[in-house]
Amino acid sequence: MPQHIHCTVENCYYWDTGNYCLAKEILVTTDPEASSTPERVDATNMMEVASEIGSTSARSCMATCCKTFHDKNRSSSPPVPKLSRAEVTQSAQKS
């Protein structure tokens, strides 16, 4: 099933006009887990990190964090592939 991720963080590498997230996959966890997980493992090994973290619980959306964020001005390579806007549009048309 296609998913449509909306994001308003315009300095993220994956952000696109209209507040779309073009990351092929994302990792969302709780703030305490995000704080204890160094930035170097944010989205590079998502399956491994998600397995290591396991299930977490949050009381509200204010206690969650997207670990896929990658500052578009950072010189290092982004951690996960970026979808094209065409791929997102095609996905939306299928749903």
pLDDT, tens digit (0-9, with 9 covering 90-100), for 28-50: 888 888 787 766 555 667 777 77
Same domain, 53 and 78: no
Task: Count structural domains, the chain.
Answer: 2
Cα first-last separation, the chain:
8
Q: Which pLDDT score is estimated for 1?
A: 45
Same domain, 76 and 54: no
Per-residue burial over 71-85, b = 16 or more CB atoms within 10 Å of its CB, e = otherwise: eeeeeeebbbeebee
Full domain range(s) for residue 11: 1-24+68-95
pTM for the full model?
0.75
Residues 6+ apart with CB under 8 A from 12: 21, 69, 70, 71, 72
Q: Which pLDDT score is estimated for 3?
A: 66
pLDDT lower than 50: segments of the chain: 1
